[in-house]
Amino acid sequence: MPERDYQELFRVLTRRYGEVEPEALIKVLCPLHVRLRSLDRTIERVGTLWRASFSVEIDDESREVMQVGRTGKFIPAEHLEGGPWREIAKGRVTHLSDDKTMAFGEVYLGGGGKAELATALETLADHDLLEIDQYGAAAKVLSALVEAELSTQLITAGYIVRRMPEDTAKHLGVYPSYDFEVERGGEVRKVEVKSLWGTNTRYARLIHSKSTGQDKGQPNFYATSSCKFATQDLFAVSLFLRTGNLRDFAFARSVPADVAKYGLPRATNFPDYVNQNPLCDVGDGVWFRSIEEVWNLA
């Protein structure tokens, strides 16, 4: 790595925001990690939610954000020693001690039932961490870094890359529901960038914002939260949640499995849409390590 002028680098990074203090930047960019104090793996059902319970201590660093209703993700403690990031389960603060020195909460999953939660609890260690995105920016920053890394890789490899806008005024036409146009030799591919499923990183998370009713019949209408096959040519899935490396991606062609042997499964009730959690196993004939391998797949 070349030597850097870190003072100048910090000046460039914060130029847009004026005289921002490093501590403020850390709060926004770096999630807070709170070590578990206790974990009760007894599972109970409250309404439609299966949950266990946990407690953490509140100190000067966590007092600002540790409030009733606060949510976070349980991750391995080894992540702070350089291990990969991985979501084991989710956590939500339900109440505080009278003296506000302890927070108590529920351990749950974003989907699945009692058996899935029991499996997660077997993995969750008593010393693991509750990670809290203090200002809601860390996940967005990670997503942006992933897309920037992919763009850099493609440009370095000789492709022309065009980043699509995140929104488009109606009078300018249909919003492109994909992230990049990638061009080589006059051929263009539409590429959608996605992530692995945080709850189980063996699977990709091919989801899209569901549209409201007034958009029905329009090209960018989505009847379900799965991606459409027709929207993009290729999927680029970041493997960061599995490997901890921003440079790692898996690529797949956006066609149904019953149309091509390298295709992806259809959503059960929506045949024009992709199954939103397909297995992502690089080298299995569906997912490939490089865009070059899927570029010319029909």
Q: What is the pLDDT of residues 165-202, one digit of tens each?
A: 877 666 776 667 899 999 999 999 999 999 998 778 89
The yes-or-no verdict on residue 2 having pLDDT over 90 is no
Averaged confidence pLDDT in the chain: 91
- Mapping DSSP onto H, E and C, the string for the chain reads CCCCCHHHHHHHHHHHHCCCCHHHHHHHHCCEEEEEEEEEEEEEEECCEEEEEEEEECCCCCCCCCCCCCEEEEECHHHHHCCCCCCCEEEEEEEECCCCCEEEEEEECCCCCHHHHHHHHHHCCCCCEEEECCCCCHHHHHHHHHHHHHHHHHHHCCCEEEECCCCCCHHHCCCCCCCEEEEECCEEEEEEEEEECCCCCCEEECECCCCCHHHCCCCCCCCCCECECCCCCEEEEECHHHHCCCCCEEEEECCECCCCCCCECEECCEEEEECCCCECCECCCCEECCHHHHCCCC
Q: What is the pLDDT of residues 32-87, one digit of tens each?
A: 999 999 999 999 999 999 999 999 999 999 999 999 999 999 999 999 998 888 88
Half-sphere exposure of 176 (CA within 13 A, CB side): 15
Q: What is the pLDDT of residue 215?
A: 63
Q: What is the pLDDT of residue 145?
A: 95
Q: What is the pLDDT of residue 222?
A: 87
Q: What is the pLDDT of residues 285-294, one digit of tens each?
A: 999 999 999 9
pTM for the structure as a whole: 0.83
Mean pLDDT (whole number) for 149-163: 97
The four Cα atoms 187, 190, 195, 197 give a dihedral, to 10 degrees, of -120
The yes-or-no verdict on residue 214 having pLDDT over 60 is no
**Domains and their CATH numbers in the chain:** 1-30 (no CATH), 32-132 (2.40.30), 138-294 (3.40.1350)
Q: What is the pLDDT of residue 219?
A: 64
Q: What is the pLDDT of residue 292?
A: 96
